[in-house]
Structure 1
Amino acid sequence: MNRIISKLQFRRSETSATPPEIAGHIDGIRDQDIVGWIHMNGRSEPLTIDLLVDGQEVALTITADDHRSDVEAAGFGDGRHGFHCTMPTTDGYGQPWQDGQSVLIELRLAGTPQTLMQQQITLRSPETDATILDCDGRIEKLTETYLRGWVTNRQNVSQILRADVLINGTFFCKALNDQPRDDLVRQGLSKGAGGVRISLPLRQLGRGTHEVSLQFPDGKLISKTVEVRGDHYRPAPTARIAPADCAVIVPVYNAAEDVAICLERLRAYTPPEVDILFVDDASPDPQIARLLEQARDIPNLRVLRNNHNLGFTGTVNRGMAEVGRKHPILLNSDARVTPNWIAGLLAAARSRPRVATVTPMSDRAGAFSAPELGNDNGLPPGVDEITFARAFRRRALGLYPQVPTGNGFCMFIHRACLDEVGALDVAAFPRGYGEENDFCMRAGRAGWLHLIDDRTYVFHDRSKSFGSAKDGLMKAGRAVIDARYPEYKKAIRVFSHGDDLALARMQARRSQADCLNPRVSLPRTLYVVATQTGGTPQTNLDLMAALQDSRDAWLLRCDSKHLVLSHLQDGKLVEIASRELSDPIEPIRHVSTEYDETVAGWLQRFEFEVVHIRHLAWHSLNLPQLAKLAGCTVVFSFHDFYTICPSIKLLQDDGVFYGGDLQQLTGEVTPSFGSPIPCRPPEWVGSASGANASTEHCRAAMLL
């Protein structure tokens, strides 16, 4: 242990330009991360720093709070003074770094020009680094909640390493071998550390066998499997929020190219019942007025123009006031929405009580980004944004990670929360950067929650409207937040490294691989039939087969008690899910709460874009409404007279044809489907709220 302390002291003394009250060391670059530690004497809280490489800002306002057992052993508090951030692949001129190149890494006190530490580092390629690595390790204990083991480098047994943790072959997180291990010391494998322990949220992945691996920095891989038998707890959802009760608010200031794309995406992927409000903050660019005028044909779109520039926060506040009692959904003009984005946000908003805000994941939204944290997430070659968004949604787990704040690039806000805690603080954040964090922290103190919608992906270009003022605005906003909310730093630290968020990013990596399968990009259509025999099921199967090159076809059928969901794969229907209904569908009431809850869950889980109802017999009359609330386009085909009479041939029990004219009805009819209980069509239609009424949620109807 004394040798570890002396080494730390030596590192501290060799660091140049370090104030005497600062202790620490920039260890170097490992696994593409800049790694080190820094501590201010007499201060227990971790420092917040900006990191620069050869004068290029690499990371701003990062909190040096990684746990380092070697630092703790050296007597520096609890050892939570480590830092790491991704090393950029190119220098400030866009040129790739060269093996053996010397660079200056500088740490500054966040938001200030004060240099805390700087050090020259020689860059080495992974091939060069591998020559001094000979790693060994073990996975000693693996459960559905944690992994315990050890990793060391035989060539340097005091080295702190970062091993990759893979779940089912996909990167999940990095693990430091910084846990004290006296047994490794006795074996000569360590100078004190070497132990690895990480939490694992395997239950969130579902029941079954899962493989967990440790991949060492030299490429070696060790694996173990574990059987997960339990289910992940999910809170009971709250009341549904209708899309018509929401309004999208887009503040605009210049950036005409971004605005044009934003409008195009809103037109394509926003339900027509959702209000859209563009608020032009007195943009001097004349293209903005022309674009917004041309977009007036978008359903429910309104345009307001500020008489003078109010700034970002004032413009948003005006928009939220203009939409009345609707739930606002803030959307930056440089954001690009994707299919089912509204339905996704609303599903997250009702996933538990008192949800204040919901933010989707993105390619460039800092801590809300996936697959990687930060602002540099490109698409696989040849893959477009809509294809990736579909693949992302289909891989997503719907965990809805809880976070301390949302991100205003795209953020749902519950109107009740807005009423309780007030609007954005325009005085403290007139031009933005920090206004949504302040709002969310106020809401959090009032008992509201903030969630990430890990099933929805919205692309983002980041702050073109602010231009060169961005960095100054960011630093000023962060200073206000830190002063108002001392708990903010710790809350952000916990959220950024949360297991649910790591799982969401892992699933995003899997979705990138899924994009290589061309069928992944196909929109999903769910066909609904009542029986397995007769003309309708056969013609439906023919339709599914004919469209299989352009649609991913699924089938929902029910015989009143047995509810089955199937997927057309290689020309054959494969059962995916089923449910035996204890509350079956019967022809008089024609509604089952159990059916509704089951199908609503499937609609959300499997992300259908179109629901084509071929027949409603033995299905709940609420199905069209459930599909619409899930963001689906609903199509209804009329094959017979079931929507106006339980006897599809319009016959009375005595065989007399009454033709659907209730004035000509002299007896009762027996339903063609379900229980043979005689009834009169007016009673059947009225008690079931009318099969005709269910068609009001359909986008199109066809008479066949």
Structure 2
Amino acid sequence: MNPLDVIIPVYRGLQETQECILSTLPRLPEWAQLIVINDASPEPGLTAWLRQQAAEGAFTLLENEHNLGFVGTVNRGMELNPERDVLLLNSDVEVPASDWLERMREAAYAHDKVASLTPFSNNATICSFPNFCADNDLFAGLNVTELDAVFAQLSLADPLVEVPTGVGFCMYMRRNCMDAVGLFDEATFGKGYGEENDWCQRAAKAGFVNYHQLNVFAYHKGGVSFQEEGDPRKAKAIELLLGLHPDYNDQVQRFIAADPAKKARRMAALAIIRCHPAPVILLVSHCLGGGVNQHLAELQSFYGDGTCFLRLTPANTAGGVWLHLSAAASDGMHFNLQQPEQHQELLDLLRWLGVARMHLHHTLGVPEPVLELPQQLGCGYMMTIHDYYLLNANPSLTDAQGRFAGDEARQRDAQCAQHYPLPEGMSAAGWREAHLPLLQGAEQVVFPSQDVAARFLTGFGDKVLAANSVVAWHPDSEQQSWPPVVPWQPAEGKKLKVLVLGALSREKGALLLEQVAQRLTGRVEFHLLGYAFKPLQGLINHGPYQPENLQSKLDEIGADVTWFPALCPETYSYTLSTALGRGLPVVFPDIGAFAERTRGRPQSYMLPWNMPAEQVVAFWLALAAGKPVSDWLAAEHAGLEYAACPSPAQGYYRRHYLAELQPVPTVQESLADTLRHTAELVEQLQRPELAPGPLTGRERLLLMLWRVRHWPGVRGFIRLVPYSWQQKLKQRLSKKQLHEILPKSKS
């Protein structure tokens, strides 16, 4: 085995660099040395600290006279000692206080033709844990050393799986491979991005193998030292990479579809949940996404390591369920369990994990055996009401035209059934009677607003539900105080910018928005940040957004006011929270939770939900001109009253949600024994992935294009098409990941 140079290139980030270096030094074996290269950092404090530490003999410090960028800096380090292996370590990585480096070196020599090794991390694309190809927090609140201890003891036949590329945040590179294929390609990849992918591809073509190492874990903060310069540079680097290695993207998609590290991730997650001292809560919901999914992820974020959340949702086959080992959306962190055939396996697993409570968020599509779990587990359950599904099977209380059906019960139920038909032979009253025991049996029924609580208490009877009902706004209302409102100030030549957020159906007012926007073209500017059920004319559509880029997109738009054109009663509205968090004036209908959540807030305008489009146009013209708008406003919402309805509980999620909830006692065992058990469980529960639903016409076209691009004579032409253009076409045809559409390998 060759000795090793651990190379840390540094540009900025004093605290992260200190954590990286100070976590690496104490356990550095005698056959390894640390080399830090300062790439002309613009931070004097960082440079001073590095010089001080190097002067004390902690490590070797090299300083670039001029900024070389990541690739040039790393190459300088890799060619410093031609007889030594190299481990590249980003300066925003924290390594465990363990024998992690010994394990990596041992694995590097487990095979003759090892090119690179990449460990597990929270933020390492195809080597990420717990969620595959995602940036994660540290799972269950454990630190890097605690997580590494779990991975170090996994019961694996082989701790290495072959990957198409290593990930450069922490990558071990064998010297014999560097001798064969050279260093990183600085001429092509400039200051960085794509260079390690190119090197790994060159290594593979020379007969070497890149591996993902499953028995080591390192923490990667991401985006600190050599910060990404934005998507245009990344897109250009990918174009260059595909020009050199045309089948690279296909290799990656095939790897993602196969996901050979899935078993290791599942084993580790199960063991961590089993051993965690916090109570385990099973969240049950539908599989339709939206605000319900956002709330589940919010619960996990809100409580952090104070609670372990599991999530159970219907699968895409009759009777199937997914058991996710996380409240957030996950990839590769779930088990498919058919009901009722595998109900006992599900029950045994939940008992072994120590589920202390079930929390039902939706029952749409949930198999009947799942609703029997609280009694079988001997635990209580609670419910949160996110829509009106349990009232009459219509989640939005809308008629066939997507408009609010009103609150007169008989008329409402009849109109709602035209939009969402009830099961054959069942009336709305029979539907409520069938679901009443579920509501009555809950320890608590949580309503996210008084508005929805009032309709349920009226529909089911306040004497029946009042005893276990509580109104509690979602945790985001407890986590922050909203900033002061920035009022709209008309000015000469200034056009009012109106923001509409989220996914717009007919019920959410998509058609009303289009009618109003078309009539006000050139006078008021409407921006949709999200998407509608059909293309809308007369407005600027910015497309869907991800939570991590929402604020930057809002900054770009620079809206003056937010409009919620909904024609149905919202039960809470996270998009309203976004507007409140930006200090924007808001315009909303007089049904749903909007008025309640903005009570007493200035610049919050309530319009009758069924106001004709021409009157809405007149309102916007008056507001844009700074004229009085009181003629259009509904009754003053500051005086809203909800008879026989509890007031919102203050601090419910901080003070009451986990009150008196204790972990379920489990049989004590060593981590090694637990990991052996998880290996057995994963084998028992391993099932083929459920067959995906039929492809849409656009998805079939995308699949055909993917196949055509491999035809002789076509590949060369495809290389001439900019990668960004290819991506735009792919996004137009399907929002799914390509590996979800590709046919599965039969091997």
TM-score by length of 2: 0.36
Structure ranking higher on relative contact order (CA contacts 8 Å, 6+ apart):
2
TM-score by length of 1: 0.38
User: Greater helix percent: which structure?
Assistant: 2
